[in-house]
Amino acid sequence: MAQGSNNNEAFLGSAMQFLQAGQNMAQQFMDYLGKNGAALGNMPPPVADPQALTALQKQFMDQQMSLWQSMLAKQKGEPQSFKVEPEPGDRRFAAAEWRDSPIYDYLHQAYLLNVRYLKEMVEALPAQDEKAREKMRFLARQVADAMAPTNFAATNPEFVKLALETKGQSITDGINNLIRDFERGRISMTDESVFEIGKNIATTEGAVVYENAVMQLIQYAPLTAKVGARPLMVVPPCINKFYIMDLQPDNSLIRFMVEQGNTVFLVSWRNPQEAQGHLGWDDYLENGPIAALTVIREITRAKQVNALGFCVGGTILSSALAVLKARGDDCVASLTLLTTLLDFSDTGEIGLFIDEQGLAAREATIGQGGLLPARDLQNTFSFLRANDLVWNYVQNNYLKGQKPQAFDLLYWNSDSTNLPGPFACWYMRNMYLENKLRLPGKLSMCGEKVDLGKLEMPVYILATREDHIVPWQSAYQSTRILGGRTRFVLGASGHIAGVINPASKNKRSYWTNDDVKTDADGWLAAATEHKGSWWTDWSAWLQQHSGEQRAARKIGNTKYKAIEPAPGRYVRERAV
């Protein structure tokens, strides 16, 4: 009887602590909002409706009490009448240790109640506009994720169990991992010693045939006896390294393109250092796609080229083609855009980091010269999915002392790039903040007023359903902007996994609908689902625009000789 009384007292003490923790979490969030109103659209300190706030607090206290009573009942062998489940996809509390111990079982459910309370409080607060509310939701999620019991040794039973089993070795290993990562200046997501660019990733055979201060142009060796007369130029994002498209032979989109009988050229962007800190948007257009198209046509003697852009690479490519169109040059026969924004009306959570105040500060510091460091970009993208890309590694690397597993995609994710300040500031202001690219003649680039509506070549647009960087509905808006006939395809999964979905593995799905006159939701409602990869659909579409078959050509010509083997030295440069 005395033991049961002690357990009851322990539970009551824990309940009161977590009730207070939830209220403290909410109060800290409110205090932050009050001090940082400018970050939320210069809104005044938020003041919730007192009656709504009182009702919310009462509901929270009642739920915490219900949970405490339910846990006591469970201890007596009775059914648990009140239980708090994680949201779908949240595997932080999947281990049996979180349920085997009544204390930890209660602890994680109480935390989930606290998170629910914080989210409901955000919805009860006034907001100047929807973007301000989205910022509050994002900040609330960051606070909640950071305070999860999984992140702390004292409240993580998996840490305790492993420490006991290893007699403290896991603690020592975790501290050593933390010291190594501190010296690196970033969290280790994978075993980087396993990978070497050009040796076991980015291995598709080819050579650099041209280079300038902005990029190297790679031509890949043919893998078929005959190829289409029109070559294919690929423009990857400059925010990351191109080899996301050429990881391993079995998941390489580049290799797939070559295997399908295309003469493939790829723009490998330079990882800018201080000497390139003066480069702007126009420099990237002139010395990127525009220069590449000139070289490709001279090497292949093709009058027209097919072109593909991925993410911001697609934005750069479309802008470059609009410049060429203004100059009377129609050298691109077809355009493919993968998870690309042309209309920046809804940019998802990435747009929450870009506002007038913050951008003006960047323009004052690096807008005329300097670098936007890779570390800043990587941190921004990581905290969009903090539980997967930050706290997961805090738990495994530092609390459990584990060595990260070798994973090619995460090696690429850790290999970030700098951006020249003038380029980054121009891009953020004119695209994300002021959304001018979609408006005919609103922007001047390379001395020309651009109009994407005058691009009349056939276009293949791929978006992905779970993309948190380029919302698929925003990518769909490109069908309203470009002047040519468009085929819009929606892939399953997210920004990377939805694109890098090898045809050979026959995984996931994609949706098609030839009618792009309706809105995005109407398009999806009438779309047909196809099992497998979008790669095969795109390859069939591209074949229609590849021209007649001819014998495959060797790499380069007398003017543009091979400078070095692919993947070249630019992609090997790491940000410091």
Whole-number pLDDT of residue 455: 98
Whole-number pLDDT of residue 56: 86
Whole-number pLDDT of residue 40: 44
Maximum pairwise Cα distance, the chain:
93
Residues ≥6 apart with Cβ < 8 Å to 3: none
Q: Which among 195, 194, 176 is positioned nearest to 184, based on CA atoms?
A: 176
Whole-number pLDDT of residue 11: 43
Sorted by where each starts, the structural domains of the chain and their CATH numbers stand as 2-165 (no CATH), 206-350+420-572 (3.40.50.1820)
Provide the H-helix boundaries in 166-273.
169-184, 253-259
Cβ–Cβ under 8 Å, residues 446 and 282: yes
Whole-number pLDDT of residue 44: 47
Please provide the DSSP assignment of 258-301 as one string.
HHTT--EEEEEE----GGGTT--HHHHHIIIIIHHHHHHHHHH-
Whole-number pLDDT of residue 26: 56
Instruction: Give the amino acid at 293.
Output: L
Whole-number pLDDT of residue 185: 79
The CA distance from 142 to 563, in Å, is 47
Instruction: Give the amino acid at 128.
Output: Q
**What ranges make up the beta strands (E) of 212-250?**
215-220, 226-228, 232-235
Instruction: Give the amino acid at 179.
Output: I
The CA distance from 514 to 532, in Å, is 19
Q: Which among 208, 229, 224 is positioned nearest to 295, based on CA atoms?
A: 208
Is the bond preceding residue 567 a cis peptide, omega within 30 degrees? yes
Mean pLDDT by 10 residues, the chain (576 residues): 45 48 55 50 56 86 88 82 90 93 90 91 83 86 90 93 95 94 86 94 98 98 97 96 96 97 98 96 98 98 97 98 98 98 93 89 96 88 86 93 92 93 97 97 97 98 96 97 97 95 92 96 97 97 97 95 98 88
Whole-number pLDDT of residue 29: 56
**Which residues on neighbouring strands pair with residue 210, listed in sequence order?**
217
- Mark whether 238 is an active-site residue: no
Instruction: Kindly provide the b/e burial profile for residues 371-403, where b requires at least 16 CB atoms within 10 angstroms of the residue's own CB.
Output: bbbbebbbeebbbbebbebbbbbbbbbbbbbbe
Instruction: Give the amino acid at 75.
Output: Q
Q: Which among 474, 464, 270, 468 is positioned nearest to 381, based on CA atoms?
A: 468
| Phi, psi at 510, each rounded to 5° | -145, 160
Quickly count: other Cβ atoms within 10 Å of residue 370's Cβ: 18
Whole-number pLDDT of residue 1: 36
Whole-number pLDDT of residue 79: 82
Whole-number pLDDT of residue 32: 52
**Which residues on neighbouring strands pair with residue 267, listed in sequence order?**
217
Q: Which among 425, 393, 399, 335 is positioned nearest to 190, based on CA atoms?
A: 393
Whole-number pLDDT of residue 37: 47
The CA distance from 306 to 408, in Å, is 29
The CA distance from 87 to 479, in Å, is 34
Question: Tens of pLDDT along 373-401?
Answer: 998 888 888 888 888 888 999 999 999 99
Catalytic hit among 238, 311, 331, 446: 311
Please provide the DSSP assignment of 53-96 as one string.
HHHHHHHHHHHHHHHHHHHHHHHTT---S---PPPTT--TT-ST
Cβ–Cβ under 8 Å, residues 211 and 521: no
Encoding tokens for residue 401? 């002392």
